[in-house]
A and B are shown apart, each in its own frame.
Chain A
């Protein structure tokens, strides 16, 4: 038995969101994040992750060849997730990452200018349209980035890096907030 009480709290619970005219920054609810891994290029693999999702827009995001992240705002129990995994076909596997990854929403008309300070990905709407997702460095932190709307990006980062990334983003937002 531990000498002190273990308290489970969201990684960014003590950070204050930014709400501005041109840029806003908020931590998203820690719902579920499932990593799905299949064989790169396998034809049936693309449709498999959809069966795990809650059907919301942008719930399934690519994360490299043959890999997807299935995300949602509602937490799922271990039992629910295990039941979903039994529906997956052969040569495709799911891993529950809900406790390991934190999502941050950056939105506002200046969002491309803000993120452009940290990543080399071309964020223009023509080359990175709504629904696109990729993994890239923001500063020194590997981040999964999804465009959920024309002026909205969701960043997903390993839990231990969430506070560092948040503090970097604060600096990046400062001139527009």
Chain B
């Protein structure tokens, strides 16, 4: 896993400052049906390559980020603040 994670607010920080929540998936609508919700809650792909994850900068700015990480090379493609606009996208 990459040891330096680029935070859009704080710059490159070690991964120890972050808490990883897991895959950043689109949340189904409330009436999407049991199957869609079972998928969303329990089922995960295990891709080789780029993967979007929620990371929380717990020991830093305390913002939720979406970090795009390559599971094969450990490179981080980019990271962005979840709540703020896409303008905060940065690349390492």
Contact = CB atoms under 8 A, between A and B. Distances in A.
Contact of B59 (A40, A63, A122, A136): A136
B84 A41 contact: yes
Interface string B17-28: 100000000000
A99 interface: no
Interface residues of B, number: 18
Contacts of A41: 84
A134 B10 contact: yes
9 contacts: A64-B63, A65-B81, A120-B12, A120-B13, A120-B14, A121-B11, A135-B61, A137-B16, A137-B17
Closest 10 CB pairs of A and B: A64-B61, A142-B59, A137-B59, A120-B14, A135-B60, A137-B17, A65-B9, A64-B62, A134-B10, A40-B84
Given A134-B10, A142-B58, 19 more contacts: A41-B84, A64-B9, A64-B60, A64-B62, A64-B63, A65-B81, A120-B12, A121-B11, A122-B11, A135-B59, A135-B62, A136-B10, A136-B17, A136-B59, A136-B60, A137-B14, A137-B59, A142-B59, A142-B60
